[in-house]
Structure 1
């Protein structure tokens, strides 16, 4: 079953960005992930609150793929750089409809 990572990222500095993108791209692909969206072009249609600078959606083939990506020793220093250099929220969503 597919899972989806939905991230909201607002950089507090840009120091980490250039070194993050290449390794993250490689590792997402290695774990079978596919970027569906990485964009600053988004709008709030409902609710209030802070609007992140960037929204990212990644499709994963399984929950294990997403979790293994996050725990990959090669990714850990990049994750730390991103979380130290941004306000980030990452949600993992199971691709099913519980209300159907």
Structure 2
């Protein structure tokens, strides 16, 4: 089942160059493990005053195992310090739904 890595970042302005270096290096690692970027942008529309990240990333992986293999890989471990130094981030992992079992949301079911 597909799995999604969703992260928001708050970029430290003085470390932007280091973060840009990380961005260039992480993409081929993610792709090597079957990851596919669905969202990778700083073009955000804020719907809340409390949540204003600088960047949002959503990566789809074929499975949870491939996601975990990616971020525990030696290649990723060698560059993750660049991210940790240059941005504050918040991330979650979300399991996808099986397309054959997906149920369409109906507001009237919310009693």
TM-score (norm 1): 0.85
Equivalent residue, structure 1, for 2:24 = 22
The alpha-carbon deviation at position 82 of structure 1 amounts to 0.4
Q: How far apart in 2 are the matches of 1:60 and 1:38? A: 15
Runs of 5+ unmatched residues, structure 2 = 104-111
| 1:1-100 equivalence runs, <5 A | 1-12=1-12, 13-45=15-47, 48-96=49-97, 100=103
Residues 58-78 of structure 1, C-alpha deviation per residue, up to 9 Å, x if partnerless?
Answer: 000000111111111111132
Q: Give structure 1 regions of 4+ aligned residues with deviation exceeding 6 angstroms.
A: none
Moved more, 35-44 or 57-66: 35-44
Over aligned residues, Cα RMSD in angstroms? 2.1
Residues 39-75 of structure 1, C-alpha deviation per residue, up to 9 Å, x if partnerless?
Answer: 1122233x55231100001000000111111111111
Q: How far apart in 1 are the matches of 2:65 and 2:49? A: 33
The alpha-carbon deviation at position 15 of structure 1 amounts to 3.4
Which structure has more helix as a fraction of its residues?
2
Q: How far apart in 2 are the matches of 1:21 and 1:38? A: 10
TM-score (norm 2): 0.78
Larger radius of gyration: 2
